[in-house]
Amino acid sequence: MRGILVASLALLDAAPCMAQFVRVQVVDVGQGDGILIRTPNQLWVLIDGGPDRTLADSLGPQFGVTQLALVVVSHRHSDHYAGMERVLRTLPVDRFVGNLADCPNRTTDNGIRAALNERHIPAQSLGADTLIVDGVRFIILPPDPIDDACPDDENNNSLLVRMEYGSFSMLFSGDADEEERSWLVANERSLLDVNVLKAAHHGADNGTSAAWLAAVTPQAVVISAGVVEKYKHPMSDAVADYKAATGGRVYCTNRHGTIRVYGYQDGHFTISKQRPTVTKSCVYDGTHY
């Protein structure tokens, strides 16, 4: 694919059998993102670490994680990476990908860089790449070349990841706002068409558009969001657009708890919910449960 450098994690690259699957857990971390992926031969990948230490502390006891083959930070907002230093200090990590620029007044960044250094974790900053873990491809989408490594707008500096397992694909879009998504549609459209979309910016209206959904063509959308008066995620217009695009296959952690996507090599997938009996709309309505 144009603009992609292939770097295989050779020791982790095993050939999975047809009956196996990749399991994506969009963990209910409240207002934030924490996505835990298990490969066919039970290696682990983490995209974002949630807004606090809760996910980091549950990786072993709750999910059975003993080592992480790959860790990715989409961008440097606390609801996505506040728990990441603890992840890096708690578990062995084979590779880290995230913005490593030394920007002023970012104490969380300093803690992450210190953990990477002290734990001798191989790390790489932003830039197009493909990493293969146990036969699952993680394509780091190319960044907009005009982006600043120390931006005022972190959302539009999100690191997006396309995951492929055979014919199954899923896109993890961080908090990408209109500027970044429009650049990707114009310049890297071939990387956007996937089976399942993890919605940008917790289901906010500024996390999607008609042009974006026309490029991504998702068959299902998963939203990671909490119930917070300040943010009102997910928002009604965005949810309506996602439902229209997918025939109603929209799943939200704020209603359904942790959401599990099982992707198979032939391209089909299934989705399960932690709270399958919930019937309320995903849209924020001010209630708590």
Would you state the CATH architecture of domain 6-273?
A: 4-Layer Sandwich (3.60)
CB atoms within 10 A of CB 148: 12
CA distances from 279 to 4, 114, 257 (A): 42, 45, 13
Over residues 72-95, mean pLDDT: 95
Q: Is 9 exposed, middle or buried (0-12, 13-18, 19+ CB in 10 A)?
A: middle
- The pLDDT assigned to 277 comes to 66
Interatomic CA distance for residues 26 and 213, integer angstroms:
20
Residue 280: pLDDT band (50, 70, 90) is low
Domain ranges of the chain: 6-273
pLDDT digits (tens, 9 = 90+) for 102-123: 988 888 999 999 999 999 999 9
Please state, for a pLDDT cut of 70, what percent of the chain lies above it: 90
Closest CA to 97 of 111, 112, 108: 112
Over residues 254-282, mean pLDDT: 89
- The pLDDT assigned to 75 comes to 92
Over residues 118-135, mean pLDDT: 95
Residue 278: pLDDT band (50, 70, 90) is low
pLDDT digits (tens, 9 = 90+) for 28-51: 999 899 999 999 999 999 999 999
pLDDT over threshold 60, residue 289? no
SS (H, E, C) the chain: CCCCCEEECHHHCCCCCCCCEEEEEECCCCCCCCEEEECCCCCEEEECCECCCHHHHHCCCCCCCCCECEEECCCCCHHHHCCHHHHHHHCCECCEECCCCCCCCCHHHHHHHHHHHHCCCCEECCCCEEEEECCEEEEECCCCCCCCCCCCCCHHHCCCEEEEECCEEEEECCCCCHHHHHHHHHHCHHHCCCCEEECHHHHCHHHCCHHHHHHHCCCEEEECCCCCCCCCCCCHHHHHHHHHHHCCCEEEHHHHCCEEEEEECCCCEEEEECCCCCCCCCCCCCCCC
CB atoms within 10 A of CB 62: 13
- The pLDDT assigned to 10 comes to 32
pTM exceeds cut of 0.85: yes
pLDDT digits (tens, 9 = 90+) for 150-190: 888 899 999 999 999 999 999 999 999 999 999 999 999 99
